[in-house]
Amino acid sequence: MVTAVLEPSRHPLAPFIHRLEQGLPMLENSDQNVMEVVGILKSYGVVLDAYSNNLNYVAESQFLNVFPFFKYFNGQLTGDRLLKHWWHDRINFEYAEYCMKSMFWHGGGGLDAYLDTPEFIEAAKKAIAARWKNNPFMLGLNKLFPDFLLEQTRQMAYYTGLGQFWRVMSDMFLDLSDRYDAGEIKTTADVTNHVLAGLVADASRPITYKVEIKGEVYELIPESAGLTFLMDTAVPYVEAIFFRGTPFAGTISYNAQAAQVPAEQGIFTYGALYADPLPIGGSGIPPTLLMQDMRHFLPDYLWDYYMGTLRKEQDLRVKICQTFQKSMFCVTSAALMGLAPHGLEPKTLAEQQANREFFEHWMDRLLSSQIKAVNSQA
């Protein structure tokens, strides 16, 4: 243990830095916060299960399919499911693809780096050649534009990368709900500790990708590539979806002359931790799809809480988004604690200072986030 103690931080978000240093989440503890966070993460876990299954199905079974009209059916196309799909009585898998494409665009991490290696390019070219072996048009197109199908293969890798990441997170959130129902989760710190333990347990889980073409298996990302769950999918996901995100059409001008979108991706602040919940439900707002999906799987206690509010169902998706942001600050807290350079029990003053600088760096990025708003909600 450290005997000397650092002076309190003078950062504008110092209270949250001190909470993280003590192993506490950025979301303050209350029975209501715990109930909301666990309830929404249960619903999110059910939705992520569906998202994960579909992303992995597309990556493995729809490899370079030029017209994947039925990719959302997971190979189970029936007349009844088609009618429900047209009636929009279904999971909004488009949101999963939005997250995948955001990760693909922002990049970062080992997965992004590996997709540019000679090893991946060679494996991808073999798979492309096998996929279009008897199609002279596609082979000719590939010769004219050699990067086109290669880039599509890279995108397929992100399908499975995100699918494998969400597989772990879905199981983690559903287990959290079970523990809450059993009376084991009582505080927001319990929530964060559960997530942190799950991240650590699966940190080294390998991320791999292979496809079967005409009975032959092609390993695009072998286990020997060394890609793992935490550093190569979880951390890039937090960066791309929680922090950076993408500007939503209708809420900000894409006109270059308006200069409302930063020129550098690294300073984007459109992620889940920053977004204003009020536009939820409007046109061009991708998270609306997620909130609509989660509303179908809310546990009874969370549904009853929402129905006890003034507007009941009228602003349900907005309320779900507000609760979801609370939960994401808990998940982000767990991620930051897990990435702290010297853990949560630094042994020297220098290690304590290094942790302080680490947390202050991340708090710099959260200055314009909803961190104060979620902690001011009753």
Does some domain include residue 319?
yes
**Residue 38 pLDDT:** 98
Q: What is the Cα gyration radius of the chain?
A: 22
- Calpha distance 300→319 (Å, rounded): 15
255 CB burial (10 A radius; 0-12, 13-18, 19+): exposed
Euclidean distance between CA atoms 251 and 358, whole angstroms: 32
Question: Are 174 and 42 in contact, with CB atoms under 8 Å apart?
Answer: yes
Tokens of 291: 């909130």
Note the pLDDT of residue 2.
52
Q: Which residue has the tokens 């600088």?
A: 357
Quick one: pLDDT at residue 35?
A: 98
Q: What is the pLDDT of residue 214?
A: 93
Separation CA 163–CA 169 (nearest Å): 10
pLDDT at residue 378, as a whole number: 57
Q: Is residue 242 part of a domain?
A: yes
Q: Considering only CA atoms, which of 54, 51, 158, 157 is closest in space to residue 102?
A: 158
Tens-digit pLDDT string for the chain (378 aa): 555 678 899 999 999 999 999 999 999 999 999 999 999 999 999 999 999 999 999 999 999 999 999 999 999 999 999 999 999 899 999 999 999 999 999 999 999 999 999 999 999 999 999 999 999 999 999 999 999 999 999 999 999 999 999 999 999 999 999 999 999 999 999 999 999 999 999 999 999 999 999 999 999 999 999 999 999 999 999 999 999 999 887 788 888 888 889 988 889 999 999 988 888 887 778 999 999 999 999 999 999 999 999 999 999 999 999 999 999 999 999 999 999 999 999 999 999 999 999 999 999 999 999 999 999 875
The answer to whether position 192 is within a domain reads yes
* Predicted pLDDT at 308: 95
In-domain check, residue 231: yes
Residue 94 lies in a domain: no
- Whole-prediction pTM value? 0.94
Domain presence at residue 79: no
Decide if 6 is inside a domain.
no
Q: Which two tokens stand for residue 268?
A: 């984007």
Q: Which residue range is the domain that position 341 belongs to?
A: 14-63+107-376
Distance CA 375, CA 373 (A): 5
The total of structural domains in the chain comes to: 1
Q: Which long-range contacts (CB under 8 A, 24 or more apart) does 275-283 make?
A: 275/245, 275/321, 275/325, 275/370, 276/251, 276/370, 277/318, 277/321, 277/322, 277/325, 277/370, 278/318, 279/248, 279/250, 279/251, 280/317, 280/318, 280/320, 280/321, 281/317, 281/318, 282/250, 282/251, 283/250
Nearest to 332 by CA among 288, 286, 365, 357: 365
Residue 184 within a domain: yes
